[in-house]
Amino acid sequence: MVSQNDHAVSVTNLLEKAVGRWPDSPSVTYEGHTFTWQQTGERCQSLAWALAGLGVGVGDRVAYLGFNSHWCFELFFASPMAGAITVPVNFRLSVDEMVDCIRDAEPTVLLVDPHHIEQGRAISRECPWLKAVVYTGDESAPDGFLSYEDLLKRAEKSDLQQSGNDDTLIIFYTGGTTGRSKGVMLTHINLFTNGLGGLSLYNTVERETHLMAGPMFHTAAGSRVYTATMMGTHTVILSKFDVLEMMTLVEQYRINTMQLVPTTLQLMVDHPQFAEFDLSSLRMITYGAAPMPVALLERALTLLPGVSFAQSYGMTEASPVVTVLDGDDHSLEARRLPRLESVGRSVFHNHVRIVNEERQALGVGDVGEIAVKGANIMKGYWRAPELTAAVLQDGWYYTGDSGYLDEDGYLFLVGRIKDMIVSGGENVYPIEIENILSRHPDISECAVIGVPHEKWGESVHAVVRLKDDAVVSESEIISYCRERIAHYKCPTGVTLMAQPLPVSAVNKILKSELRRMISGDAE
């Protein structure tokens, strides 16, 4: 069968379109400098040729270690133009962990930003197969590094074989909250589907201005590179998360949309200078990566009255959006409040169901593992067929999250399956207690975990950080819960923390860390 059009789905097509349709519109702003789509298109093309010149071929990997930057944005297109795979490295890892990641991905070329020179050198020593280490900065490159900007100037045209369709486009390493990190292979189809499928949900229009606030090594922000290009969006890049810088950029560039996690939303609305900024250009804030405490959402709806909120629930393996709770469902009307505790309904391109331990579908209201199927589901884990087979079966991805669906298809999370507490034979879902605690006026942050208990198997334990100057005792916290939910669900122990709770790269609270701290449980 003749197939003349075998790369119909390609992010390269999206870039080509943005250049053709909006050549003089802003594409990316980074540290005060703004590029146009025409310029970004030319830079990506030159980088693709430069990579080929360095020996990068079809299926090879190119890694990026650095904070968010226009260089990272450009690599996201140059790799597929050269048939290669982008590997963004989590800059929060220790050097040893970075080396592990690079050994696993085995890239041909590594790009390093000015903030990670030492780590780049260390990786370079440990990974002798690297054909080049490239410095992404405007200044001249340090010893041992090639200059990105020089490479672009010197790049020679060549014929490149682009990737497309179900070729791997990016490998995102999931920090996960436990266990060794895994390389999630996302294809052109996966990220194109996530982008296209999101348009109807976010009421997105052409050429808005988006603040890239999260780290691009994570799919929640990284996937936005492609969505932005599809829409001709102007992406203002926040190099590394800082709440003051974030509010400054929103005011300066009249940002329309941005993406947060609950922790950063909390930091923003709690910031002493919050009221000093003109944030009136904001049209929509999407948030995700962790359940939103209802008390915080209520506060944000009050403080940012012109903004529409959309929650998305997802994970790297789903490129990442699985469900969306849209603007209409963010209502403080009493009868609609229960919806705020849901993560919304599955997007049109995927299918969510709840299954039991035998992976059989359960009914409305039954709690079980959340499974997802659709064109957004990863190809698999990089070089880990057993791990892939453990979670992917007949197109279904088994998330390890537990939850239930209501009769209208709204999904309610009850936590990670492994975070579920079994106390005296009763299942206790931490989120329920966390929702109660987060409404307490003196509590700033909280997490509920199970700790080993001789008699009950596990007991419920709350880890709490109070607001500045607040004084509440452990027993008062326990009593507060007992007035509100069944006793068997209430914490029997409370740990008050002076410091912020430990979080992962995407600001998810690390419960594994807390369990280690509280009970010495090594998992």
Q: List residues near a second copy by CB under 8 A.
A: 1-10, 13, 16-17, 20-21, 59, 165-166, 168, 185, 187, 189-190, 192-193, 196-197, 199-200, 203-204, 230-231, 346, 348-351, 353, 361, 373-380, 383, 385, 388-389, 392, 395, 397, 409
Residue 13 CB, shortest distance to a second copy, in Å, is 6
Rounded to 10 degrees, what is the CA torsion of 189, 70, 263, 513?
80
Distance CA(225)–CA(424), nearest Å, equals 48
Q: Which is nearer to a second copy, 378 or 433 (CB)?
A: 378
**Which of 225, 274, 269, 228 has the alpha carbon at shortest distance from 248?**
274
Residue 60 CB, shortest distance to a second copy, in Å, is 12
Q: Which is nearer to a second copy, 166 or 242 (CB)?
A: 166
Cβ-contact 317, 391 below 8 angstroms: yes
Distance CA(480)–CA(487), nearest Å, equals 11
CB atoms within 10 A of CB 111: 31
Which residues, 6+ apart, have CB-to-CB distance to 238 below 8 Å? 68, 211, 212, 213, 245, 246, 249
Residue 191 CB, shortest distance to a second copy, in Å, is 11
Q: Which tokens belong to 462?
A: 């709350």
- Give the DSSP letter string of 18-69: HHHH-TTSEEEEETTEEEEHHHHHHHHHHHHHHHHHTT--TT-EEEEESSS-
Q: Which is nearer to a second copy, 202 or 241 (CB)?
A: 202
Q: Which tokens belong to 357?
A: 């331990």
Which residues, 6+ apart, have CB-to-CB distance to 490 below 8 Å? 433, 460, 478, 481, 482
Pairing of strands 109-112, 321-325: unpaired
Q: Which is nearer to a second copy, 285 or 354 (CB)?
A: 354
Distance CA(71)–CA(47), nearest Å, equals 10
Residue 481 CB, shortest distance to a second copy, in Å, is 35
Residue 233 CB, shortest distance to a second copy, in Å, is 11
The burial class, CB within 10 Å (0-12 / 13-18 / 19+), for 118 is: exposed
Residue 237 φ then ψ, to 5°: -95, 125
User: Counting every residue, how long is the chain?
Assistant: 523
Q: Which is nearer to a second copy, 36 or 168 (CB)?
A: 168
Residue 375 CB, shortest distance to a second copy, in Å, is 4
Q: Which is nearer to a second copy, 349 or 453 (CB)?
A: 349
Q: Which is nearer to a second copy, 55 or 395 (CB)?
A: 395
Q: Which is nearer to a second copy, 299 or 349 (CB)?
A: 349
Give CA separation, 79 vs 12, 62, 265, 382, 427, in Å.
Answer: 10, 7, 33, 17, 47
Residue 27 CB, shortest distance to a second copy, in Å, is 16
Residue 254 CB, shortest distance to a second copy, in Å, is 21
Residue 405 CB, shortest distance to a second copy, in Å, is 9
Q: Which is nearer to a second copy, 205 or 486 (CB)?
A: 205
Q: Which is nearer to a second copy, 9 or 134 (CB)?
A: 9
Cβ-contact 269, 302 below 8 angstroms: no
Residue 495 CB, shortest distance to a second copy, in Å, is 41
Residue 165 CB, shortest distance to a second copy, in Å, is 6
Cβ-contact 198, 233 below 8 angstroms: no
Q: Which is nearer to a second copy, 345 or 508 (CB)?
A: 345
